[in-house]
Amino acid sequence: MPLFSVKNLTKRFGALTATNNITLDVGREGIMAIIGPNGAGKTTFFNLLTGFIKPDDGKIFYKGTDVTGQKPYRIIRHGISRSFQVVSIFEEMTVLDNVRVGVQRNLGLMNKLFLPYHKDRKTTDEAMAVLEHVGLGHMADLPADSIPHGDRKILDLCMALTSKPETLLLDEPMAGLSKAERIRITSVIKNLSLDHKIILVEHDMDLVFSVADVILVLHHGTVLAYDEPDKVSANEEVQSAYLGREVADA
């Protein structure tokens, strides 16, 4: 069964059709990357899958269940989770508390009116375990707004893991990172792909071609190609639309 199955998916912003009648089954393999030139509709497609925006038309199924137009907090209950392109964390909390928010939700403790959150052993242990897993354990007590950008990116990713998702959607995990940080995140993502299905939007072609098992190429809101990396890079349409744009211009 495909992970996501979309039927006639359409999203318009005024006169611009960002997602144009896409019908596709995606995400059987480990890591799927969504690429395309600027304005191709990658982010829109990504946001539709994660319920951030509602489609104008069409349906989205996750493992056979209709999730079209569901609110984010419902979508994640199906086992979907996402990270954000612009780091989206709780800036005024410590690193540990950031993760705690997710963990306590997952443990069903989020409505406890009189249980001091910092005293709950189970939440703390589980949150620490998540941080250790990605190598942020030593930063647990630091304010989240004080740690380096690369670590913030990883924290963002970490928070997405707290709901124990089966499928992880990553929105430009490499955006704004240095070379060294990129290498670090790449290994984190590879590691995560061992027990998660991953869908990512990314501009960094090195990452895409080194980790992706399958690539979805979007162009003008439609699917240009959906194939393995070497076949995608050999695809002439993809080359002219995207990879070989400079050549065509010259």
Partner 1 sequence: MRKIITDPLVLIIAVFAFYPALPYIGNFISLGSELLLWFIFTMSFNLCLGQTGLSSFGHGAFYGLGSYGAAITFLRLSGPGSFLVPILAGVLVGAASAALLGWFIKDKRGVYFAMMTVAFTQVCFGICWRWDEVTGGEAGLSGVSRSTFLGVNVSNPTTYYYVCFVVFIVCAFVIRAITRSCFGLSLQSVRQNYVRSQYLGYNVNLYKFGVYTISGAFAGMAGAMYCLLTQSAFADILDWSKSGDVVMATLLGGGTVSFYGPIVGSLIFIICKNLLSSLWDHWLFIYGMSFVIILCLFPTGLMGVMQKRKKKKA
Residue 110 contacts partner 1 per CB under 8 A: yes
3-state secondary structure of 38: coil
Residue found under tokens 């209950």: 77
3-state secondary structure of 212: coil
Name which of 109 and 243 has its Cβ closer to partner 1. 109
- Interaction mask 69-98, partner 1, x per CB under 8 A: --xxx--xx---xx-x---xxxxxx---x-
3-state secondary structure of 174: coil
Name which of 106 and 239 has its Cβ closer to partner 1. 106
Residue 62 contacts partner 1 per CB under 8 A: no
Give me the phi and psi of 135, to 5 degrees please: 80, 30
Q: Which of residues 124-163 bind partner 1 (CB under 8 A)?
A: 159-160, 162-163
Alpha-carbon dihedral of residues 133, 184, 166, 47, nearest 10 degrees? 130
Select the residue interacting with partner 1 from 15, 116, 141, 179 (CB under 8 A): 116
Name which of 154 and 160 has its Cβ closer to partner 1. 160
**How far is 195 from 165, CA to CA, in rounded Å?**
10
Beta-carbon-side half-sphere exposure of residue 50 (alpha carbons within 13 Å): 23
- The residues binding partner 1 (CB under 8 A) are 50, 71-73, 76-77, 81-82, 84, 88-93, 97, 100-102, 104-106, 109-118, 120, 123, 159-160, 162-163
